[in-house]
Chain A
Amino acid sequence: MTARDDTLQRLHKSQHPEPHPEPWESPQSFPDLTAQFIKALQTASGKAFHVESLDKALEKAFEFMEEFKVKRIIANDEPPLNQLDLPERYTQYEWYIVDKTEGNLQEFCAHADAGLTGAEAGFAETGSLVLVSGPGKSRFTSLLPPLHIVLVQTSKLMVDIFAWQKSYHKQFPGWVGFISGPSKTGDIEGKQVLGVHGPRDYIVILYDK
């Protein structure tokens, strides 16, 4: 008898089915999802900004690129970034567009200064963004470089994880991630340090249209 059979047999013999509770309906609500998102992300040591338009969002993003003395950027090939012709607009940077640029992505990332992505959705309550793997979306854009900037439309914000869970009906791809702040640790004497394995600086720019 295999381990599987052994375990399952034992479990079936000793089961005593109790009814499963009704799904949890989250009572949370926020009058201003964007304001809540920003507050939560700042608490988690991330940075968040709210601007009116995608143009303004781009402007802000590249202000940060200058501030952080960025030279090499890896960007996902996803909305809104894929409509912006970034390498043509910002020729002063060396670009790697996921699934478009030739060359080894990981090698580029090893020396990339910034990663630029969009997001599928966001939870206002916890200041989290949902990112997924797939064509044009690398898992490493948001992970390997020391700076990660996200441009996301405010209409993508939901109240919390339960709202997302209710709305998500797709198959899961190989990787889905909720990012709720920059990489951090308190393992040395409880002192908080940012940028352990993931990005040290995490900036979300929310735009209305």
Chain B
Amino acid sequence: MSDSNKVALSVTCIVDQLFPEIGVATVELLRMAGYSVEFPEKQTCCGQPFSNSGFMPEAVKMAKQNIELFEPYDYVVLPNGSCTAMMRVEYLHYLEKEPQWHTRAEALSKKTYELSEFLVRVADWKPAASANAPSVTFHASCHTKRLLGMHETPRALLAAAGCKIIEMEDPDRCCGFGGVFCVRMADISNAMTRTKLDLALKTGADRMVTVDPGCMMQMQGLLKEKSTTFRIQHLANFLLEVSK
């Protein structure tokens, strides 16, 4: 743990190319929490789509690229639970057989955080309570829960913002994204997503909030079948919206 107030943003490819507003909101939140943000521009992707499909050499190559790129910084923050899990947990596994790289991966792992983790545990920052905070249901992605063992920090931020949090039934039910699965097994994926959306809508909450852009885009892709008023948002954008 460092006393520095500088963080490096690993924006993640899905946010970079599909939802840049999540990146913008992340930067703003980190600044509100008193940190300045650096953006190593050489970054592209953590490699997860490739390890996910069994392309290990390609994934290892990208792991090494990311370790090299981010290791000079004191903190690395990602607005993406799944990619955080990749960098913090899976990289160690991929580099088991290369001791030097493994050591470097371990060092990086110790300073890599998902956004809400960083805000709550390192920055010790919480949003101010808003009188008009909508009711929300929180979707904890499978990777976030399983590999990071983390699910309280986003809820802590939502509660601090004044939101009523209504939990879904069967909260551990996978949304159906699964990375490449969502196109490789699209029919099953969509069926799983519809089940998840039903569970979310059943809560009666106004919004669903998540820290996983992959899950977010998966569910947004079928949401209009079920509702035109329910919104699914990333935690960063949600918190900014509520704080205004």
Does a CB–CB distance below 8 Å link A and B in the complex? no
**Partner-B contacts on A (CB < 8 A):** none
**Partner-A contacts on B (CB < 8 A):** none
